[in-house]
Structure 1
Amino acid sequence: MGYVVDRWHLSRPPAGAPECGEHKGKVASAAHGKGKRWQSRYDGPDGKERTALWRTLAEAQNEITKQEGSKLTGSWIDPDRGKTKVETVVFNIWLPATATIERTKREYRGVMKRYLIPEWGSREIRSIRPSEAGAWQNLLTTKYELSGTTPNRTARLVRSVFTLAVLDRMIPISPFAGVKAPTLVEPQIDPPDVEIARRIVGEAHHDRWAVMTELDALTGLRSGEIRGLCVDKLNLLHRTLDVHRQLVYEAGKGQYFDGLKTGAGRRTIPLNQRAVDLLAQYIAKYPPPTAGEFAGLVFTMPGGKPIGESTLDSAFKAMCRKAGVKPYRWHDLRHHYASVLIAGGENPKVVSKRLGHKDVAFTMRIYAHLFAEAEEQTRSVLDAAWAAPGDTQTKPAEFSRSTGRIPESRPRKGALTQVNA
């Protein structure tokens, strides 16, 4: 339980000590008349003692009552930690607590250094106001000229810093609470269809690029995932491919194997027979290296060296030019894979799992228009299935404007009729 201390007077004065001339019956301390007189003291939930100075005894007692009550209700806020600088919170508290791989943490560090620290780095985290939070988000597009999905992604990272500060009892509420995040502008996905994908594959000047392109269209792997594909992750007998790591590049370190960003990225992809045949024939013709850092790597450059992302992109763009199609990105093959699954009737949860997305909502946000097209396909299938014999096309039911009901009509021969019980 907390208590209040009178700083200006000794609680246990020595015998014979002179009485305070200002306060009868008290013995003055060395702090008499200096600063605020009353000090509230209480233990926080972590067992550490907190203190605060007040002008009057009533103010100090009210502070004790407030803090003890907040501990009981679970709403207690550490007054000292709220003084922590934003930069310290970001790099010493938030970043180490982020559940992701080290490479991604380095990316996050760069984002914070570019867009947050120059604005608020030296500020106490408790000092940021909602109006400032909204103004900072506007700077992402005005001052820093970010566009597309980047403003939303950047804002979400910064907002998560303040969310953690709330959970850590540093501030009572995030300044972003009630402030709408930047609109997430997802680019319209227009992947190549099967015919175009085949044309692109046909323009490859080496088996390596042809097989990688077709395999990616059949599996939806990310660039780092297909470049980092090793034979130990293939089970051609059961026709599956395990995605557990990727090939990445880092300045000063070169290319190396690294884990996936999220647990959802770890997945097993079913292979169709075409993909199995492609892999079997390619591995037989171009055996993977058997020793060294990249032993078992399926797709390599001459000498067993790994393929760089820019090298793969360059080869793919050259294939697109020769095929006479628009300059697709390698990632568009991943969108192609998703579009084929959707058109084939796969539900969003399965598509999300195959792509290694963190949640179905993310998948729906990217491919919403493709799912809409799939819905129309469902309608066409139902129309065709329920068409009467001899119909050349089906017509939608016409509603009566006066009654709002489907007009009654004589049943066609062979149609179902209602039977009264």
Structure 2
Amino acid sequence: MTTPRRNRRSGVEDRWFKTTYDEQKQPQRVESASYGKGKRWRGRYVDDDGREHVKGFARKVDAQKWLDEITAAQVTGSYVDPVKGQVTFGSFYLEWSKRQVWVPSTVRAMDLAAKNATFVDVALSDLRASHVESWVRAMLDAKLKPSTIRTRFNNVRSVLRAAKRDRVLANDPAESVTLPRVRRAEAAMTIPTTGQVGSLMHVSDDDFRAFVALCAFAGLRLGEAAALQVGDIDFLRREILVRRQVQRANGHAVEIRGPKYGSERTIPVPQGLLDVVALHIAHWRPGDDPERWLFPGRGEHPWHQNSVGHRWRKTRTAGGAPELRLHDLRHFYASGLIAAGCDVVTVQRALGHHSAAVTLSTYSHLWPDASDRTRKAADGLFAEATADALRTEGAETASDQGL
């Protein structure tokens, strides 16, 4: 038989006295069996799930205050079941993560951040900002990069927010925690010169030249370029379709899945790039199957991070640029678009960023600022004014000479 669910209610009762009724049905206040034993006042309430909670107090005013706080928390949505609040951060993450739809790389990143947290065994009801601050300090002392600390912090904070939504955590203790400053993108970003890119193209192996070109002149990520099929190259429309990427799972297995952030896109590309790709297909990938890999690896899979990494290290050494990363070719492409006057949305779509905010946070320093625009406008005014003066001076000279 199902026990009927109790409605939410609360109240304060006196444990030491009870009310009885005499023969005339008049109320009489008499000592109860608990008189003088334990705390006199008992606050009790039933939560939204029908569970009763009880707490003893020496004074009635304290019991009522406790109940008022509980009621306010229930009304504002910040109420946390005392039993659920005893669940540790680690236990909550273990159960919550099983319900998430994550790709393998996200699973690894989230697991690493959660296990790294120094408060993994702390009950959520006891979790304070000081716990999070101590964890951030420990990562800083361990010489982790500020960007790494920020990534782990954000991953852990997503768990805390989930706990708050599930009402096992009243407030987000990470809300006001200060993180170490990440240096600005322009200080950390390396943009190859056109000369360096040309040299890399020249010294790369014949089967790798098209890969370098795709990263430099279409801005493809490593996994996106490696996952291209011959049918993704539209020579007629001069476009490349980005529909998948290669990822390594657990360091061994090769996985083919959608691009990062769901950034399927069509990229307009220059004819020169198409010529390089066409030569690559004619020499290395002839045939009629549009689903054949542009860069085939062993077995059924295309190249992946390890096979590309080996070829890239060989190429950059031969090209005299051992400090360059393959991802720097993507920066080269983005900087070229910006220098040509492309707006933020155009660059975002070409790069496959999930929002224009990401594009701006990465490349904002490359766009002309107010000073550049002011200088350019003043240059235009100066050129026009001096041109007019020269024309006037020329006309007056000609008049004086009777021409």
Compute the TM-score of the two structures, normalised by the length of structure 1. Answer: 0.76
Question: Out of 355, 358, 376, which is 1:359 matched to?
Answer: 355
Partner of residue 397, structure 2: none
Pairwise CA distance, 1:182: 2.4
Partner of residue 253, structure 2: 254
Structure 2 counterpart of 1:24, which letter?
A: V
Partner of residue 221, structure 2: 222
Equivalent-residue separation in structure 2 for 1:82 and 1:317 (angstroms): 51
Measured at CA, do residues 205 and 260 of structure 1 come closer, stay the same or move farther in structure 2, by a change above 3 Å? closer
Structure 1 counterpart of 2:329, which letter?
A: L
* Structural mapping, 1:164-203, within 5 Å: 164-185=162-183, 186=185, 187-203=187-203
Equivalent-residue separation in structure 2 for 1:80 and 1:302 (angstroms): 54
SS at match of 1:297: coil
Pairwise CA distance, 1:232: 4.0
Measured at CA, do residues 88 and 253 of structure 1 come closer, stay the same or move farther in structure 2, by a change above 3 Å? same
Higher helix share: 2
Measured at CA, do residues 412 and 245 of structure 1 come closer, stay the same or move farther in structure 2, by a change above 3 Å? same
Pairwise CA distance, 1:390: 9.4
Q: How many residues are matched?
A: 374
Structure 1 counterpart of 2:30, which letter?
A: K
Equivalent-residue separation in structure 2 for 1:162 and 1:104 (angstroms): 17
Partner of residue 407, structure 1: none
Equivalent-residue separation in structure 2 for 1:168 and 1:288 (angstroms): 56
Structure 1 counterpart of 2:334, which letter?
A: A
Q: Do the aligned residues in 1 keep the contact of 2:200 with 2:319 (CA within 8 Å)?
A: yes
Question: Out of 2, 25, 42, which is 2:9 matched to?
Answer: 2
Structure 1 counterpart of 2:92, which letter?
A: V
Q: Do the aligned residues in 2 keep the contact of 1:152 with 1:183 (CA within 8 Å)?
A: no
* Structural mapping, 1:88-99, within 5 Å: 88-93=91-96, 95-96=97-98
Partner of residue 57, structure 2: 55
Question: Out of 52, 73, 78, which is 2:76 matched to?
Answer: 73
Measured at CA, do residues 279 and 39 of structure 1 come closer, stay the same or move farther in structure 2, by a change above 3 Å? same
RMSD between aligned residues: 3.6
SS at match of 1:324: coil
Measured at CA, do residues 389 and 359 of structure 1 come closer, stay the same or move farther in structure 2, by a change above 3 Å? closer
Compute the TM-score of the two structures, normalised by the length of structure 2. Answer: 0.79
SS at match of 1:306: coil
Kindly provide the CA deviation profile for residues 272-311 of structure 1, in whole angstroms up to 9, marking residues without a partner as x: 22233333332233337889xx952111247765223222
SS at match of 1:112: helix
Measured at CA, do residues 178 and 303 of structure 1 come closer, stay the same or move farther in structure 2, by a change above 3 Å? closer
Q: Do the aligned residues in 1 keep the contact of 2:190 with 2:324 (CA within 8 Å)?
A: no
Measured at CA, do residues 120 and 36 of structure 1 come closer, stay the same or move farther in structure 2, by a change above 3 Å? farther
* Structural mapping, 1:89-238, within 5 Å: 89-93=92-96, 95-96=97-98, 100-113=102-115, 115-116=116-117, 119-142=118-141, 144-185=142-183, 186=185, 187-206=187-206, 208-238=207-237
Aligned-pair identity in percent equals: 22
Equivalent-residue separation in structure 1 for 2:241 and 2:331 (angstroms): 20
Q: Which consecutive residues of structure 1, in runs of 5 or more, have no partner in the other structure?
A: 14-22, 393-410, 416-421
Moved more, 34-43 or 127-136: 34-43
Q: Do the aligned residues in 1 keep the contact of 2:191 with 2:328 (CA within 8 Å)?
A: yes
Equivalent-residue separation in structure 1 for 2:14 and 2:286 (angstroms): 78
Q: Which consecutive residues of structure 2, in runs of 5 or more, have no partner in the other structure?
A: 1-7, 21-28, 393-403
Structure 2 counterpart of 1:104, which letter?
A: T
Equivalent-residue separation in structure 1 for 2:322 and 2:251 (angstroms): 35
Measured at CA, do residues 282 and 303 of structure 1 come closer, stay the same or move farther in structure 2, by a change above 3 Å? farther
